[in-house]
Structure 1
Amino acid sequence: MLFGMHPHQDGPLARLRRGHEDLVLELLRKHGPLSRAELGQHSGLSRTTLSDIVTELIESGAVVATAPETAPRRRGRPVEALTLNPSAGQAIGIDFARRAVHVSAVNVAHEVIGSASEPHDPGLPWEERITLAERLVGTLADGALRLGALNAIGVGVVGPVSDPDSGPPEPCPSADLPALLRK
């Protein structure tokens, strides 16, 4: 279920509203924190529509409004910054390089939660590289990474590289990699 939408609502107005929600979320992903006025300029949505969408996204927990920094007070209401809720989701990236494994985790607000790397011998078997990646992921955020909030995992795998000193490279078990990662 999308934010604020009921499963049985799938008419043209519900689809239009989902499109507006997606637009606001994408703008916050792309630009980071924005004021309501900046969101209005980027989105082209009316103030009323934007207000309704933002209110619903805040109530659903997808977006948070942060109090303005202490700045000289101007007329009107203080400008708050809207941003994606950092605790709304996370993603992990794993890079199986030729001589190292690199892992990083980020939240949906584009903040790096943690990253780690460890070199290894280029001949290290794939099962051991995956074990190394699992161990490194376990160290991210001091072991406090919330796997239940995980939205995505990206995996990069180096292609075959020949090294005259070590002979032909061990082929990546590409067909077996998803199964190995599920262990």
Structure 2
Amino acid sequence: MSTEGVRQRNLARILRLVHLEGPLSRATLTELTGLNRSTVADLVGEFVRGGLVEERAPDPSRRVGRPSPIVSIASRVLAIAVNPEVDALTIAAVGLDRGIPVRERIDLDRLITPAETAALVAERISQWRAGPLADARIVAIGLAVPGLVRVADGLVRNAPHLNWVDEPVRDLVAAATGLPTAVGNDASLGALAEHLFGAARGIDDVVYLNGGASGIGGGLIVHGMPVGGAGGYAGEFGQNRPGIAADSDRRARGGVLEDEVSRARLLDVVGVGSADEPTLAALLSATEDPAAAAELVRQRGILATALANAVNVLNPSVVVLGGFLATIAERDLPGLTAAVSDFAMPASMEGLDIRVAVLAEDRLLIGAAEAAFGELLADPLGLRHRLSVR
């Protein structure tokens, strides 16, 4: 490998460490990378000059021996994260340090088109650049789409609840904004976010299920790596046929899991047409209607069979539930775990932990931003590009 190639790789290692772990001292970076102190100082200096990181003096109260400056991500390095849904379009600015300085949920009374999505994203970026993000460096855009996404070119093959079929969403948004754009399945990006920063941090084998307005999707982490499948479509747990023992518990004849375990059905039993996840959870907690309690029990039982199937096939260490599935689970997490255990192989249940997503409403936005930051993290100062054009 050439000298510049080695330098590009070392820059990527350092930036990724600070991105994932938070502020680190130069001494810690030296220890973690195995590089010598002068090399780390030189590389960090490049980042400071490039506006990607900041350095500050160490805490005097913790100073032991020679002080080592603290390196942290510059807070104004941002990606724009976008999550289109059937009832709302959520747009946020997400920092490389995971701060979210600006966020907006645009409620919708009809399905939004890809072209309208691109136009709205461009409009908000323009507004924010004239206001709260005036001094920010926006590096890219990431979209978390509830549907099948061909990751290679950002083509949304099918987002059935949005009526998007073979839509070049990546190209539409990039053309409207002038910014590099990445597109991925919302649940797969949620799985990545929870694996890197949330409930499954440090866990190598994870099954993640996300429940949203468009249904149920999933993501897989196997041996520490996201698994997308041949086309990037892996994890569509919501399209599996659920096991329902009592016919009286079935609501959609011949339906799939997301037809039975449904956010729309929960909204219906609390008497509202639309709500974000915290509002839905609050409404379910506040209601004394026996029909709401019965629906939660029904959905939790069906969800348990689906989770047991996933546990039997994939043998994860952790199952993480996000969105309205987290709301269902939190009402009786021990009961859900026991129900899964009733259907799963005993050996596969050994050591299994079922958790709710700790990133809550931020999980899809942080996942989308992570996709947007991919090129920056791989080649922070553009050295690889310079090498490729020589």
Answer yes or no: same fold by TM over 0.5.
yes
Report if aligned partners of 1:94, 1:154 keep a CA contact under 8 Å in 2: yes
SS of corresponding position for 1:145: coil
Cα distance change of structure 1 residues 126 and 71 upon mapping to structure 2, 3 Å threshold: same
The residue type paired with residue 141 of structure 2 is I
- Matches of 1:140 and 1:132, distance apart in 2: 12
- Residue matched to 2:96: 108
Distance 1:60 1:126, change over 3 A: closer
Identity of aligned residues (%): 23
| Alpha carbons 1:126, 1:173 under 8 Å: kept | no
Q: Deviations over 1:19-72 (max 9, x none)?
A: 222211111111111011211221121223223322333344332112334526
Corresponding position: 1:26 with 2:16: yes
Consecutive unaligned residues of structure 2, counting only runs of 5 or more, are: 147-158, 177-390
Alpha-carbon spacing, 1:75–1:116, altered in 2? closer, same or farther (3 Å): same
Task: Give me the whole-angstrom Cα distance separating, in 2, the residues matched to 1:51 and 1:119.
Answer: 48
Question: Which whole-Å deviations, capped at 9, do the CAs of 1:120-157 have from their partners, x for residues lacking one?
Answer: 12434554444444444455588332598321101233
Specify the alignment match of 1:178 in structure 2: 171
Q: Distance in 1 between matches of 2:100 and 2:8?
A: 28
Task: Evaluate the alpha carbon distance shift between residue 56 and residue 125 of structure 1 in structure 2; reply closer, same or farther with a 3 A threshold.
Answer: closer
C-alpha contact 1:101 1:133 (8 A) present in aligned 2? no
Asked if residue 17 in structure 1 is aligned to residue 23 in structure 2, the reply is: no
Deviation at 1:93, TM superposition (A): 0.9
**Structure 2 partner of 1:145:** 133
Structure 1: stretches of 5+ with no match in the other structure: 1-10, 162-168
Where does residue 83 of structure 1 map in the other structure?
Answer: 72
Aligned with 2:32 (options 42, 50, 57): 42
Higher mean C-alpha deviation, range 35-44 or range 122-131: 122-131
Q: 1:181 to 1:19 in 2, by over 3 A?
A: closer
Between structures 1 and 2, the one with greater helix share:
2
Q: What amino acid is the match of 2:46? A: E
1:142–1:148 Cα change, 3 Å: closer
1:119–1:17 distance in 2 versus 1, CA, 3 Å: same
Matches for 1:110-129 after TM superposition, within 5 Å? 110-129=98-117
Question: Deviations along 1:77-136, whole A, 9 cap, x unmatched?
Answer: 3x431012233x321011111110001112333322211102112434554444444444
The answer on whether the counterparts of 1:102 and 1:133 sit within 8 Å (CA) in structure 2 is no
* Structure 2 Cα separation of the partners of residues 35 and 108 of structure 1: 18
TM-score, structure 2 as length reference: 0.36
Asked whether the equivalents of residues 114 and 164 of structure 2 are also in contact (C-alpha less than 8 Å), the reply is: no
Contact 1:116 / 1:140 at 8 angstroms: preserved in 2? no
| 47 and 68 in structure 1: CA distance in 2 versus 1, 3 angstrom threshold | closer
Moved more, 45-54 or 96-105: 45-54
Q: Which piece of structure 1 moves more, 106-115 or 119-128?
A: 119-128
**1:156 matched residue in structure 2:** 144
The alpha carbon displacement at 1:16 in A equals 1.8
Q: Which moved more, 1:35-44 or 1:48-57?
A: 48-57
Rate the CA distance shift 1:65–1:114 in 2: closer, same or farther, 3 A.
same
Q: TM-score, normalised by structure 1?
A: 0.70
Q: 1:133 to 1:48 in 2, by over 3 A?
A: closer
Compute the displacement of 1:75 (Å).
Answer: 4.4
3-state SS of paired residue (2:18): helix
Aligned CA distance change for structure 1 residues 46 and 99 (closer, same or farther; 3 Å): same
Paired residue secondary structure (1:27): helix
